[in-house]
Amino acid sequence: MLLFALLISVVLAALLRATTKERLRYAARSFALFIFLGLAIAWLLYPFSQ
Amino acid sequence: MEAVPERHGIPPILAAIAAWILPGLGHLLLRRWGRAGAMFGVVAGLVMTGYLLRGVVFPIHLRDLRGDPLIFLGGVGDAGSGVFYALASILEKAGADVSRAAGDYGTRFIAAAGVANYLCIADAFEIASGRKP
């Protein structure tokens, strides 16, 4: 999940932002959101796996 | 005053085809070195991880359009990674194995690589046509 989030964040940042500074900020934010939402959805679905 | 995007000497369709055949090549022809490296690294990283996890590489058969359109769409998605898709049988020698969860993750990585490269192809086309700086 970490690798997937990192690689997709990099490609989105490279495509959607123009400057290096903007890209770094976008990639960091996108990566954090991927991880946060992934874990949040996993915990939400956890009761259904029992 | 709005900046006028630079026009390049490369036909947009050529940039798009190059970007499809080898991820990052379209941007390389357009002298976008950083973006070219990032595209190649990301697509290669995704697809090779998918192959190492022994994900499924869907074939493209027109007959699947009637029988199982999702298989056909999977093939179209996977084919976005260009040379990595063409060399799938060489790069993934052990073949797919979705009897374990890792194989299923691999399938998603391979599909994500193809879709990410479609975005790169569109980006290369836009830059070459002068619509994007």
Residue with tokens 């956890």: A46
pLDDT of residue B7: 61
Residue with tokens 């490296």: B37
Kindly state the tokens that stand for A45: 């679905």
- pLDDT tens, N- to C-terminus, chain B (133 residues): 455 555 668 899 999 999 999 999 999 999 998 899 999 999 999 999 999 999 989 888 888 778 888 888 889 999 999 999 988 888 878 887 888 888 889 999 999 999 999 999 999 999 999 888 7
Q: How many CB atoms lie within 10 A of CB B56?
A: 21
Put simply, the answer to whether A3 touches B45 (Cβ < 8 Å) is: yes
How far is the C-alpha of A18 from the C-alpha of B17, rounded, in Å? 23
pLDDT of residue B61: 83
Distance of CA B68 to the CA centre of its chain: 22
pLDDT of residue B50: 93
Q: What is the domain partition of chain B in residue ranges?
A: 12-128
Shortest Cα distance, chain B CAs vs residue A35, angstroms: 16
Across chain A, how many H-helices and E-strands are there? 2, 0
Identify from B6, B35, B42, B51 which residue to disrupt to test chain A contact, counting A C-beta atoms within 10 A and taking the largest count.
B42
pLDDT of residue A22: 93
Put simply, the answer to whether B34 touches A3 (Cβ < 8 Å) is: no
Chain A residue with minimal CA distance to B106? Answer: A4
pLDDT of residue B109: 94
ipTM of the complex: 0.81
Per-residue b or e along A11-49, where b marks 16 or more CB atoms closer than 10 Å to that residue's CB: bbbbbeeeeeeebeebbeebbeebeeeeeeeeeeeeeee
SS3 A1: coil
| Cβ partners under 8 Å of residue B60, min gap 6 | B72, B75, B76, B79
pLDDT band at A49 (very low <50, low <70, confident <90, very high): confident
